[in-house]
Chains A and B, each alone.
Chain A
Amino acid sequence: QLQLQESGPGLVKPSETLSLTCSVSGGFISSSSYYWGWIRQPPGKGLEWIGTIYYSGSTYYSPSLKSRVTMSVDTSKNQFSLKLTSVTAADTAVYYCARQRGYSFNYWGQGTLVTVSS
């Protein structure tokens, strides 16, 4: 059974960089059938797509976050990562990693809350 687990600091200071990793088990991140994505959800609000990465390293980012986002993949560790620079309180959210099959997100991690505060 595929499992995704987000990990990283739960508290980040304003203007610093948010860094998260998604560890994949029960499947291979290098499978040619899937892409891997990050989605976030501010407290009490809706979902927002952040970006998507393929095992080869190809990336697609949300236009609204593109200038601050970098995604990477480590096939040897079966992980992919998210970096979001120059964070503000508006970046406080639950961050989910997910597997994309085709054009939908069919497996999700449990999510991790990241709070931006000094």
Chain B
Amino acid sequence: QSALTQPPSASGSPGQSVTISCTGTSSDVGGYNYVSWYQQHPGKAPKLMIYEVTKRPSGVPDRFSGSKSGNTASLTVSGLQAEDEADYYCSSYAVNNNWVFGGGTKLTVL
């Protein structure tokens, strides 16, 4: 099972919006609506931000939103804030009871 493809970096100024992509195949992202997104600050454990493509856990700001088209999922962060600077990882359920992560995207708030 290959890792999902994410851009290594993304950036935006405070108040702007930024979108991070996550590309897989029909065996993972494209085949199931089970894409999740995680935020990880340096030295910390990942935190679930989006699950099942578009859903936000309680406590996650509505500035974070998810979507999917075909084999590519996306995370959009609107109204960027300094605390949004972190690494972001996508994950997807994959065929035969597997889970696969993306390589991660470092989001910089300029």
A-side interface residues toward B, CB under 8 Å? 37, 39, 46-49, 52, 60, 62-64, 96, 102-106, 108-111
Contacts and interface: CB of A to CB of B under 8 A. Distances in A.
Nearest to A107: B48
B91 A47 contact: yes
Contacts of A110: 45
Interface residues of B, number: 24
Main secondary structure, interface of B, reads strand
A44 to B, nearest CB: 10
Interface string B49-60: 001100001000
A64 B1 CA distance: 8
16 contacts: A46-B104, A47-B89, A47-B101, A52-B97, A60-B98, A102-B52, A103-B36, A103-B51, A103-B52, A103-B99, A105-B36, A105-B91, A106-B51, A108-B45, A108-B46, A109-B45
Interface in B1-33: 1, 3, 32
Interface of B: 1, 3, 32, 34, 36, 38, 45-48, 51-52, 57, 89, 91, 93, 97-104
B51 A102 contact: yes
Contacts of A60: 97-98
Given A52-B99, A62-B1, A105 B104 contact: no
B45 A49 contact: no
Contacts of A111: 45
A105 B48 CA distance: 7
A110 B40 CA distance: 12
B12 to A, nearest CB: 22
A62 B98 contact: yes
Given A37-B99, A103-B93, A108-B46, 10 more contacts: A46-B101, A46-B103, A47-B46, A49-B101, A60-B98, A103-B36, A104-B91, A105-B91, A106-B51, A110-B45
